[in-house]
Every structure is written in structure tokens, then in C-alpha cells.
């Protein structure tokens, strides 16, 4: 252990390369774009969609053959929610279209990713999945805009909300099941795991990735402390000396101690190795 830690520190060991694994599930990813209107506002794509008698029939909507009546819900505030559109739930209001990513499921259970590797590899995996989700939502929004006949501002796409669920990290796993936490870093509302939450304009995965990197820094500090402790002559002597003869055999380490350490080691020797003197 001494050789490996010491070698790691001499060679500029980077804790970003430590292999770890954890579980990650993207929740409630929402991304949207603004609708661009051209005068006059009458008979817009939004008005035509909202007023299509969406509660009166079953099957697909004649004007929108890709959309089933049963997948559409209109709120009292005249906001339409369309499920199962290109694998995304669409939120359609007068001013914007928001895509809500539908979580992947296996037999009705939400899919959770095993993320393993170095801190960099885990961050790369999360970033790649976030990009795929972003592209899927953006494509669904563009497709829906074309179906209902509205124009969207291509420069207005942005994230509105996201939650990154995580468990498996040593600190996260140590949190008591009954504890509820809401702070600037994450929230814990379930017995197991936490969620890194972001609002409008925040990039999904960013909070979790920053946490992963900060934990890598903590790991580095732990390694430095361990390296210092292991390489400290006093600690080495305590580890090696089981009797008085061991102290004599390790005189070269005793010589490395300063006067204060020698005094402390003398007390430690008398206290812990006193039986060997008596024999």
C-alpha cells in the first residue's frame, strides 16, 4: 500500500482516474421553444388545435392524424398536453411548446442507468445521454410545430427544468432513510438516493457532474492524507514495532524523528511495549 500510494503521489496521481460506479436516472427533463406569431393572430395553429373538439371522440384526430384524442388533455388555462408524441409529452400553450421527456421504462419500472468508470468516463456518459435526450425533445418540438402549423424561434430553445436522481455514492448512501433534505446542491425526498435539480436555463447533468468531480477532489485529499500518514516515520514505527527488538531493528526510522516526536515515541513505546521490557 505504501509503495502504490507513494508512487501515485510522486507521479502526480489524478483521482479523476479512480474507478467507481453509481446509479443515475434523469427525471422530469423539460425543454421548450417560443412560438413566433405573424399578424393577424386569428385562426392561429394554437387556436385551431385548442378548438378541435378534443373531448368528443376516440381514435385519431382527423386534422392531426398522428395524434390520438385520448392522448390530449386541455387544462382550464387552455394549455394542451399531448402524450406519446415522438416519445415525448408535449405541453402546448399560446406562446411556447415544451417537450417533457418520457422516462424509459422496463415492464412499468423506470429505467435507471449504472454509471461506472473514472470520474471523466462517468461525466462523459451522462453528457452523452443528456445530449441524446436534448436532441429527441428538440426534434419532437419541431415535428409538433409542423403538425399544428406554428413557427418556432430556432434560437429560443432552452431547458426549463430537470432532476438527476443518483445513488451509490458513499456519502449519498450514508444519508439516513428517514431524512428529508432540500438545499442548493440537491434534494432528498426518497428513502434512498438524492436528486440534483435545475431550473430554467440550467444544463441537465451539470449538478451531478460537479458533484462527481468534487468527490474526486475529496478522494485526492484523502489519498494525500493517507500518503502523509503512511510516510510519517512515527506512524511507520507504530505499525512495525510489536516489541522492543522491533524498535532496535528500526533505529533508522527513530533517527528520522525530531526531538518532540522522539519524546512522544518514547511515551508510546513505554505504554504499548511495556510488557516486553518486563520479560
pLDDT in tens, 222-271: 544 454 455 577 777 777 778 888 888 888 878 888 887 787 778 778 77
Q: Give the rounded percent of residues in the chain with a pLDDT score beyond 90.
A: 28
Per the model's pLDDT, the better-predicted residue between 209 and 234 turns out to be: 209
Distance, CA of 82 to CA of 73 (rounded, Å): 7
**Domain spans in the chain, listed from the N-terminal domain onward:** 26-116+131-219, 232-278
Confidence of residue 154 (pLDDT cuts 50, 70, 90): very high
Higher pLDDT, 158 or 212: 158
Q: Exposed e or buried b for every residue in 93-120, given b needs 16+ CB within 10 A? A: beebbbbbbbeeeeeeeeebeebeebbe
Question: How confident is the model at residue 99, as a pLDDT?
Answer: 97
Nine-digit cell string for 45? 395553429
What mean pLDDT do residues 163-185 have? 85
Q: What is the pLDDT of residue 262?
A: 81
pLDDT for res 218: 54
End-to-end C-alpha distance for the chain, whole angstroms? 33
Compute φ and ψ for 164, nearest 5 degrees: -110, 105
C-alpha 195/C-alpha 174 separation (Å) is: 15
Beta strands 80-85; 181-182: pairing state: unpaired
Residue pLDDT, tens place only, 42-82 = 557 888 888 776 665 677 887 788 888 888 888 888 899 99
* Residue 34 scores a pLDDT above 90: yes
pLDDT of residue 137: 97
Mean predicted confidence (pLDDT) in 36-40: 71
Which residues make beta-bridge pairs with 162? 198
Q: What is the pLDDT of residue 40?
A: 60
**Looking at residue 4, what is its pLDDT?**
35
Q: Is the pLDDT of residue 21 over 50?
A: yes
Query: What pLDDT, on a 0 to 100 scale, did the predictor assign at position 225?
Result: 45
**Rounded to whole angstroms, how far apart are CA atoms 121 and 125?**
6
Q: What is the mean pLDDT of the chain?
A: 80
Q: In terms of C-beta density within 10 A (0-12 exposed, 13-18 middle, 19 or more buried), how is residue 250 classed?
A: middle
Query: pLDDT tens across 77-135, in order?
Result: 889 999 989 989 999 998 999 999 988 888 888 889 999 988 888 899 999 999 999 99
Burial (Cβ within 10 Å: 0-12, 13-18, ≥19) of residue 157: middle
The Cβ of residue 221 has, within 10 Å, a number of other Cβ atoms equal to: 11
Look at the alpha carbons of 17, 20, 21, 26 in this order and tell me if their dihedral is positive or negative: negative
Amino acid at each position: 500500500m505504501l509503495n502504490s500510494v507513494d508512487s501515485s503521489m510522486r507521479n502526480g496521481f489524478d483521482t479523476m482516474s479512480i474507478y467507481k460506479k453509481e446509479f443515475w436516472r434523469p427525471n422530469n427533463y423539460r425543454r421548450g421553444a417560443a412560438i413566433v406569431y405573424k399578424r393577424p393572430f386569428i385562426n392561429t395553429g394554437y387556436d385551431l388545435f385548442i378548438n378541435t373538439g378534443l373531448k368528443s371522440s376516440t381514435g385519431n384526430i382527423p386534422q392531426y392524424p398522428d395524434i390520438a384524442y385520448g392522448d390530449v388533455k386541455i387544462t382550464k388555462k387552455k394549455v394542451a398536453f399531448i402524450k406519446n408524441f415522438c416519445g415525448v409529452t408535449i405541453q402546448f400553450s399560446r406562446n411556447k411548446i415544451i417537450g417533457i421527456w418520457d422516462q424509459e421504462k422496463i415492464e412499468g419500472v423506470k429505467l435507471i442507468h449504472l454509471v461506472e468508470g473514472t470520474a471523466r468516463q462517468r461525466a462523459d456518459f451522462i453528457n452523452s445521454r443528456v445530449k441524446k435526450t436534448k436532441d429527441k425533445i428538440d426534434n419532437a418540438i419541431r415535428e409538433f410545430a409542423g403538425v399544428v402549423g406554428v413557427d418556432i424561434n430556432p434560437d429560443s430553445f432552452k431547458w426549463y427544468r430537470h432532476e438527476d436522481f443518483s445513488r451509490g455514492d458513499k456519502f449519498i448512501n450514508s444519508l439516513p432513510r428517514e431524512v428529508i433534505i432540500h438545499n442548493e446542491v440537491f434534494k432528498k425526498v426518497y428513502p434512498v438516493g438524492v436528486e440534483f435539480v435545475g431550473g430554467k436555463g440550467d444544463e441537465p447533468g451539470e449538478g451531478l457532474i460537479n458533484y462527481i468531480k468534487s468527490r474526486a477532489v475529496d478522494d485526492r485529499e484523502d489519498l494525500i492524507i493517507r500518503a502523509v500518514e503512511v510516510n510519517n516515520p512515527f506512524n511507520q514505527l507504530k505499525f512495525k514495532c510489536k516489541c522492543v527488538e522491533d524498535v532496535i531493528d528500526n533505529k533508522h526510522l527513530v533517527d528520522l524523528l525530531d526531538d518532540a516526536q522522539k519524546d512522544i515515541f518514547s511515551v508510546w513505546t513505554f505504554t504499548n511495549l511495556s510488557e516486553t521490557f518486563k520479560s
